[in-house]
Amino acid sequence: MHAIVRSVVDTRTKFQHAQIIETPSCGKCLVLDGRMQSTQLDDFIYHEALVHPGLLTVDRPPRSALVIGGGEGATLREILKYPSIRRAVMVDIDDEVVTLCRRYLPEMHRGAFDDPRTEVRHEDARAYLERSDERFDLIVSDLPEPMEAGPACLLYTREFYRTVHDRLTPSGTLTMQAGMTKAGELGFFTAIHSTLRAVFPVVAGYQAFVSCFGTPWGFIVASRRLDPRRLDPPAVDGLIAERVRGSLEYWDGVTHRHAFALPKHIRKALDAETRVVTDADPLIVES
């Protein structure tokens, strides 16, 4: 629980209940459908963990990226730290949330929406990918977990991940948030990991403790052939120095090695999981 000092925005968009609040401990926070998404205090942890493992895994300086969701613009912010990026497309269906974040959360996007390499589209991400023939070095899925039956459910299925696979360059990577990884709450993480294994030859789960969530949080990198776990700490640090403009606050070689070293009970749960999420059998997260 977070005490609220000030309510900056409290509105219902066409798609969700959106709030921007301010708390004494976390600063400004984005809350969607009652769930904390990002805070001024520690968004750097979540967004660096979400973006950099994928971009560092690509075997050449990345040139193009697609963000699915990511309304506050912080995912874009991290991608644009790579001078080699020539084009960064963000597809978020909720234009109202993006407009609110752009106005009230400059601390998070830090001008990413105004970068000339950025293109923002407000439409269904699956429809966009299905009709596009563009290929990306990185595709990031930065979406809330689906809490009810609807279009969001179809962005977590084997069929959707097949489309993502086909929109990646040969050495491209998918990275995504994949829910909490605390004991007893692994079902979303393991189901998505299992579903990705049905599509991608390489699937690597990892985690980071995100303070505002109060729990370790799961992420996944998937690719045709490149495995982020092959990178040792000196290699990661070298790639950051070579590819990233400025310094990172959270991600480095030691953090990379630690994040992918999942504890035994999580590895066991991943090995035991057999569910493959499909359009006909979507995954719903209970609120």
User: What amino acid positions are annotated as catalytic residues?
Assistant: 142
CA distance 89 to 66: 5
Q: Dihedral sign for Cα 95, 96, 97, 98, please.
A: positive
Chain Cα centroid distance, residue 170:
21
Question: Distances from the Cα of 114 to the Cαs of 65, 76, 88, 109, 120, in angstroms?
Answer: 16, 11, 12, 10, 10
Query: Which tokens belong to 197?
Result: 């294994």
Query: Which tokens belong to 239?
Result: 């790639």
Residue (of 111, 172, 179) closest to 146 by Cα position? 179
66, containing H or E segment: strand 64-69
CA distance 60 to 48: 19
Q: Give per-residue burial for 204-240: e unless 16+ CB within 10 Å, then b.
A: bbbbbebebbebbbbbbbbbbebebbebeeeebeebb
